[in-house]
């Protein structure tokens, strides 16, 4: 019987993760300059924020970053999953990088700490084996002559059709989650709830993180019809006033119905309501200057760049450690840019 916060690692997982790394590197467009991220390539701003840990948290929640009340300066990168046109349906990300966080990190020695969130509560792949299967289907679709023969159909749509036929058609749960993930069309990045989709440690607990916007307090803005509409919305709203999110943790309370190794399964909020750990405060600013956008282009985020008290859990996270690191290393190498963590001082200098 599974116990709370317990991982179950398949014996062949290491080999599958190695294969997944090769697949993700093969999907990088190395002809483009600069070489873009394999996922979430387009960002809408490089936002300055304060991550304010709540005072008087109950003892069971006071672990790692949340052990004592403290405010960390942070950077937020809001992004699209794939689309270059913000008007099209897509996944949307909120990546946070906290500065001046003391303590050893699991990925590398550094003073930063990353959180990676998505605007959907569930991930669309159950495990590493299925993730490899999905990328096999995608690579086969890209190599197929069929999309070329269907010249009257957009190539991306034809490739997705092949992926559906070869992989997703007999996986209705994953297909439904994926459809929801790629159909989101927010008007602003600041009114969306973001989720970790996968579990992490909060000391002895397993949790799923989320960031809940205080949408009613957001400055009003006039939406524009533009491929960069989310960038415009972000700049307009943060130019007029501050925005805030509540950073939440939903604790795993039932190992059977709230699994660690299957992020396609929801955790019942009635059994375990999310609990607030911190406020993310975005002050008035201009987040999309050319200098800031270029700065954000060089950043790398990895959920394993964290304190041990917040260790990522589950197979998808175990795969992310190596995949994200390998793709980032290759991308920086091709772009002729040193791969390093930013400092707070250089980020603040761009916001001066």
pLDDT for 248: 98
Query: Which architecture, in CATH terms, is 13-351?
Result: Beta Barrel (2.40)
Res. 29 pLDDT band, cuts 50 70 90: confident
For the segment 301-311, the average pLDDT, to the nearest whole number, is 98
Q: DSSP string spanning 106-130?
A: SSSS-S-EEEEEESSSS-S--SHHH
Q: What is the pLDDT of residues 73-107, one digit of tens each?
A: 999 999 998 889 999 999 999 999 999 999 999 99
Res. 168 pLDDT band, cuts 50 70 90: confident
203 backbone φψ class: left, alpha, beta (φ>0; ψ -120 to 50): left
Q: Does residue 155 surpass a pLDDT of 60?
A: no
pLDDT for 158: 45
pLDDT for 136: 87
DSSP secondary structure letter of residue 151: T
Q: Does residue 318 surpass a pLDDT of 60?
A: yes
Per domain, the residue ranges of the chain are 13-351
Q: Report d(CA 288, CA 120) in Å as an integer.
A: 25
**Residue owning tokens 């109950």:** 58
Q: Does residue 160 surpass a pLDDT of 90?
A: no
Res. 137 pLDDT band, cuts 50 70 90: confident
pLDDT for 164: 63
Res. 32 pLDDT band, cuts 50 70 90: confident
**Residue owning tokens 């600013």:** 285
**Exposed, middle or buried by CB within 10 Å (0-12, 13-18, 19+), for 151?**
exposed
Widest pairwise Cα distance in the chain: 63
pTM of the model as a whole:
0.94
What is the distance between the terminal CA atoms of the chain, rounded to a whole angstrom?
55
């Amino acid at each position: 019987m599974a116990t709370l916060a317990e991982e179950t690692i398949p014996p062949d997982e290491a080999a599958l993760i190695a294969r997944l790394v090769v697949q993700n590197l093969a999907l990088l467009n190395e002809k483009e300059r600069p070489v873009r991220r394999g996922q979430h390539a387009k960002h809408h701003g490089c936002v300055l924020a304060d991550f304010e840990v709540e005072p008087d948290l109950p003892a069971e929640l006071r672990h790692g970053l949340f052990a004592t009340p403290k405010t960390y300066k942070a950077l937020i990168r809001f992004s699209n999953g794939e689309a270059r046109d913000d008007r099209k349906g897509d996944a949307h990300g909120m990546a946070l990088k906290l500065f001046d966080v003391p303590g050893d990190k699991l990925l590398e020695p550094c003073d930063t700490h990353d959180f990676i969130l998505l605007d959907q509560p569930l991930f669309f792949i159950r495990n590493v084996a299925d993730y490899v299967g999905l990328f096999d289907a995608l690579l086969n679709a890209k190599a197929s002559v069929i999309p070329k023969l269907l010249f009257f159909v957009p190539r991306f749509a034809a490739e997705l059709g092949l992926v559906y036929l070869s992989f997703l058609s007999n996986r209705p749960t994953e297909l439904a989650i994926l459809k929801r993930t790629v159909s989101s069309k927010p008007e602003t990045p600041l009114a969306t709830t973001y989720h970790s989709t996968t579990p992490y440690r909060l000391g002895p607990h397993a949790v799923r993180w989320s960031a809940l916007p205080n949408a009613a307090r957001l400055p009003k803005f006039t939406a524009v019809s533009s491929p960069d509409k989310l960038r415009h919305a972000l700049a307009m709203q943060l130019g007029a006033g501050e925005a805030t999110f509540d950073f939440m943790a939903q604790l795993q309370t039932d190992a059977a119905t709230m699994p660690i190794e299957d992020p396609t399964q929801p955790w019942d909020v009635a059994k375990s309501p999310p609990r607030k750990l911190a406020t993310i405060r975005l002050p008035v600013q201009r987040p999309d200057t050319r200098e800031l956008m270029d700065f954000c282009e060089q950043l790398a985020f990895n959920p394993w760049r964290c304190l041990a008290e917040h260790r990522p859990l589950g197979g998808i996270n175990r795969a992310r450690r190596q995949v994200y690191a390998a793709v980032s290393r290759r991308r920086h190498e091709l772009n002729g840019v040193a791969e390093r963590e930013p400092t707070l001082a250089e980020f603040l200098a761009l916001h001066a």
